[in-house]
Amino acid sequence: APSGELVRGAAAITSVHSPYARLRPIAVLSAERLAISDLVAAAKWGTGSPIDDPVRERQVLDAVAEQARRLGADPVVTVRIFRDQIEASKVVQRGLHRVWDADPSQAPTERPDLGEVRKEINRISGELVRAIAGSADARSAPSCGPVLAAAAVRVRHERRLDGLHTGALARALPSVCVDGDGGEG
Ligand SMILES: C=C(O[C@@H]1C=C(C(=O)O)C=C[C@H]1O)C(=O)O
């Protein structure tokens, strides 16, 4: 039989309370938000709608701040993380538009409705606010950076992310850990 120590070690890794279990959903939801950004890019392609939409960004940031407050989480930290999520979405959109400009045969032939796509973004953003609110301990632990990086690598492999989406995922995450680039430290 495995030693008690081994069992406790495995339990610590697989527990829903482990730092990995707390941080992995942030990486997963960030990757999902970036996958939806492909649809945002398709919705805007050929319409003249700009990739940067500061009015919509303000709405997104105000909404997540309010959700964080309702959950008793820190709205300032939540907004900081979402500024990176938005930048990452624009990395994906610009990258795809560049590819489609260079080779129009790769461009989407159907145009999704931007309003519908944004409803999906809102849903994922709400889940992400919950994941942020539930991970305060893991985000302030010294292990946060390495654990989050491990989660991102795993998501990259599971979802077979291409270079564009891998780079964008890295752009989405630097403020998640309290001592990350966006932190006060
Ligand atoms: C995703 C969009 O593109 C950009 C990114 C946003 C986001 O990540 O929420 C919001 C507005 C745009 O600047 C969008 O227009 O909905």
What average pLDDT does the chain have?
94
Single-letter amino acid, residue 177: C
| pLDDT score, position 184 | 44
178 band by pLDDT with thresholds 50, 70 and 90: confident
Nearest-angstrom CA–CA distance, 82 and 88: 9
16 band by pLDDT with thresholds 50, 70 and 90: confident
Nearest-angstrom CA–CA distance, 149 and 155: 10
Domain boundaries, the chain: 22-172
Q: Which atom of ligand 1 is nearest to the CA of 89?
A: 8
Structure tokens at 148: 């989050």
pLDDT over 60 (residue 185): no
Q: Which atom of ligand 1 is nearest to the CA of 118?
A: 16
Structure tokens at 1: 């039989």
CA-nearest residue for atom 8, ligand 1, is: 86
| pLDDT score, position 139 | 98
**pLDDT (mean) for 169-181:** 88
Nearest-angstrom CA–CA distance, 124 and 30: 8
Q: Is the distance from CB of 138 to CB of 22 less than 8 angstroms? A: yes
Q: Which of 2-16, 122-136, 169-183 has the lowest mean pLDDT?
A: 2-16
pLDDT over 70 (residue 144): yes
Question: Which CATH number applies to 22-172?
Answer: 1.20.59.10
How many angstroms separate the alpha carbon of residue 94 from the centre of ligand 1? 12
pLDDT over 80 (residue 182): no
**Distance set, CA 117 to CA 32, 41, 71 (Å):** 12, 10, 25
Write out residues with Cβ below 6 Å of ligand 1.
Answer: 37, 40, 51-53, 56-57, 60, 85-86, 89-90, 118, 121
**pLDDT (mean) for 36-55:** 97
CA-nearest residue for atom 16, ligand 1, is: 118
Whether ipTM exceeds 0.85? yes
Q: Is the distance from CB of 77 to CB of 70 less than 8 angstroms? A: no
| 33 burial level (CB within 10 Å; 0-12, 13-18, 19+) | buried
